[in-house]
Structure 1
């Protein structure tokens, strides 16, 4: 596939390409251009023109364009799901979950745009610098930021594309997409459909290549007005530093090491089942997946035994007969997968080796391997680690992005909260308890952007302002946060009411 710059399918200016490989079976899928800095500059220059073209289209007409896109998306549904499944190495059911949300994110943000109506301030409510404001009309309006760079991660390329591109377009911005290097094909296909629906080619572009080069060129380009990025905390800090030097905004959804707290009064069967599902979805490659299982010592043995039984039942594999599986699984809406479904590979063998090394490191610190712990290529077997103590790295800041369940004991509520807050991350979390007051206390005291009481941390409603605290990010995404893709302008009509 090719990049889309200025509405044209484009190779890189030097002709270099990158292979896209199915991580589950090593099969070659396609190539993408390795963009040059010259290509990036061309896209930025186009975006300045494209933003004016896009914002000049009345909102009602822009909404019709998005509606056409949604129809095209449905027409190409099976093809898109098949491509995404293959380039991610995941199970079809997980891909379908992503697909089922993508269209409604776009239409939802367009609905939000119709309600972004600004303010008319009450005249004469205070004296003002000249002592005379009673006849002044003061309008508070929203304007587009300009050119927004959307940096999309590998773990949910459809859904997280939509959470970045949809609000940026709805607010009247031009967008340059930097898709994930390992699995960019789905995002290219969706971009093609948006252009086919009527989004101007200069207003939406997609530039492919390595994040360390193409992403860096985009973020450092002074023609870029804002960045929306999901990825690692390390990369996010670098982006924030660059953007701060020109006082430009960025929305960053970064790492997490979410706590799953089990109180002794809860139903342990329910807690174990929820814990299993909270981690196995997308082979553990979910930013808000529970990653630290903090369990009261009076029930830790029972919980661990039941968890291990469930984890041992998880099937790991990949069925390349994707088209047939699409027909079978189209009704699936559960991101944590359903019984009998495979969990697929990680995004690459490199990623699986990193998980393997992290598990080995945790065992070297004293954890006990109860099941799993083996890697085959890009696949990593579901793994439960017992005997994890709160001073180990995995109990604090070591985020394992794979199907691994570290179980940590505690004796008091205060200690559970202390362990949960002992991480530099604060993305999401959860607590399982029959005492709603206790659940509310824990939810308020754990330092995260979101907490779920009696459910797993894998919870993201499209309406909620989703984001993290501490080193898990800055800014929010969600249908109620469209203002983050705009800037405020005050327009004063002096003496207009006099």
Structure 2
């Protein structure tokens, strides 16, 4: 099979400098899904040069003109949602229903920022000197290097590229090497939308080499990254040498709290949405389940009954609710967390094993798993698992559970279920997380800010807040 070109620079599809290729594997079947070109830092430098050359003309277009390109892209992505969803499911296992939702979310981002481009306002400020006038201008940062993960390959790109382009920046995108097929198709739609040459560029390739090019090349003025906290720290350290701007959406370890006055049925569905959607491979997935001791048994029973009904399988089958893990490394980490918890006294209330019979044999499938009698010494309670496993910890009172929930270096998302209005407000205020879902297991929306506290990141994506990281604030003083 001939390799598909995966490097898009200056409006052209190119071979990689190294001429290396990457084989993409379907995690549900183990079958080859495609072969693509695989670039490195040399390709990234060429893409950066193209973006830098295009910046002057793109940034000087009117906001309305930039908006038209983004709106064209919105329509194309929406019209090709089924095709993009099938590629996402093929290369990383996501159920088709979820994959279509992701693509529509990406389209919403392109539409939102097509409109937001026209709302980048400056200010006039009253001067304390009678013969001076003060203006505040908002101008694009420059060339943006964007790095995105495999778990939401299309929407994560949209959340970075859409506001960057709307602000007047040009971009170089490095998609995850695990999901290049949907990335290539998305960039074919960028090309079809008519963006001027050099404004949008893509390099699929070696993470370390490309990341180093983004750090070292002074033409890159901003790095926008979603991924692990470990890699985020390395990028921040490198960016500091040139004082590059960064935005970081990093790891999470979300607590999910169920109080004794909660609607338990609603809480079970909220937990299923938060924990088991995308096979638990989300940075905002619930990782620790805290249930009040008065309802822990009844809630666990309801949760187990829900999981017994959940269909695990190939994401491309219509009845699949939970797909495979993305690769063997991810599978082994989940199994390690289960073994570690059991060695320290946890019991398996449901699941706990890899699925290998029949159609599961060549894929990376695991049973959705509930571990009871968990404690804070277990890996699964302090490390991000990224899989369909939830540990259950009973708690006695509100103060103690808030302390346990906040006992983490992460601060991305948290969830709490209660019918007590006063308690709901206390949880919203006291939980040290950038996103808090109160009686809501799926709180993200295009127009809302997305990002974390502590080691979960810097900056926010989404809504009007998503533009800030791509704009410089310039003060102009004029003597009259």
Matched, 1:288 2:284: yes
**Which structure 2 residues correspond to residues 200-349 of structure 1 after superposition, within 5 A?**
200-318=196-314, 320=316, 325=318, 340-349=319-328
Q: 1:179 aligns with which of 175, 179, 204?
A: 175
Matched, 1:357 2:326: no
Question: In structure 1, what is the Cα distance between the partners aligned to 2:113 and 2:419?
Answer: 36
Query: Residue deviations 1:417-467, cap 9 Å, x none?
Result: 0110111111011111110101111221111002121122x3112122211
Question: In structure 1, what is the Cα distance between the partners aligned to 2:219 and 2:340?
Answer: 43
Question: In structure 2, what is the Cα distance between the partners aligned to 1:80 and 1:44?
Answer: 27
| TM-score of the pair, normalised by structure 2 | 0.94
Gaps of 5+ in 2: 357-362
SS in 1 for 2:146: strand
Question: In structure 1, what is the Cα distance between the partners aligned to 2:418 and 2:79?
Answer: 44
Question: In structure 2, what is the Cα distance between the partners aligned to 1:88 and 1:53?
Answer: 37
Query: Residue deviations 1:152-177, cap 9 Å, x none?
Result: 11100111110000000000111100
Q: 2:68 aligns with which of 64, 83, 91?
A: 64
Q: 1:398 aligns with which of 364, 380, 383?
A: 383
Matched, 1:367 2:346: yes
Query: Residue deviations 1:400-420, cap 9 Å, x none?
Result: 101111101111111100110
Question: In structure 1, what is the Cα distance between the partners aligned to 2:10 and 2:205?
Answer: 17
SS in 2 for 1:229: strand
Q: What is the RMSD of the two structures over their aligned residues, measured on CA atoms?
A: 1.5
Deviation at 1:365, TM superposition (A): 2.2
Deviation at 1:116, TM superposition (A): 1.1
Question: In structure 2, what is the Cα distance between the partners aligned to 1:368 and 1:199?
Answer: 55
Deviation at 1:8, TM superposition (A): 0.9
Question: In structure 1, what is the Cα distance between the partners aligned to 2:468 and 2:265?
Answer: 42
Deviation at 1:19, TM superposition (A): 0.8
Question: In structure 1, what is the Cα distance between the partners aligned to 2:140 and 2:153?
Answer: 25
Deviation at 1:341, TM superposition (A): 3.3
Deviation at 1:213, TM superposition (A): 2.7
Matched, 1:9 2:9: no
SS in 2 for 1:4: strand
CA contact (8 A) 1:349 1:379 kept: no
Question: In structure 2, what is the Cα distance between the partners aligned to 1:25 and 1:400?
Answer: 23
Question: In structure 2, what is the Cα distance between the partners aligned to 1:8 and 1:144?
Answer: 25
User: Which residue is 1:430 aligned to?
Assistant: 415
Question: In structure 1, what is the Cα distance between the partners aligned to 2:79 and 2:244?
Answer: 38
CA contact (8 A) 1:293 1:406 kept: yes
Gaps of 5+ in 1: 127-132, 326-339
| TM-score of the pair, normalised by structure 1 | 0.91
**Which structure 2 residues correspond to residues 29-44 of structure 1 after superposition, within 5 A?**
29-44=33-48
Question: In structure 1, what is the Cα distance between the partners aligned to 2:193 and 2:40?
Answer: 28
Question: In structure 2, what is the Cα distance between the partners aligned to 1:219 and 1:312?
Answer: 48
CA contact (8 A) 1:372 1:382 kept: yes
Q: 1:388 aligns with which of 357, 374, 382?
A: 374
Question: In structure 2, what is the Cα distance between the partners aligned to 1:393 and 1:319?
Answer: 29
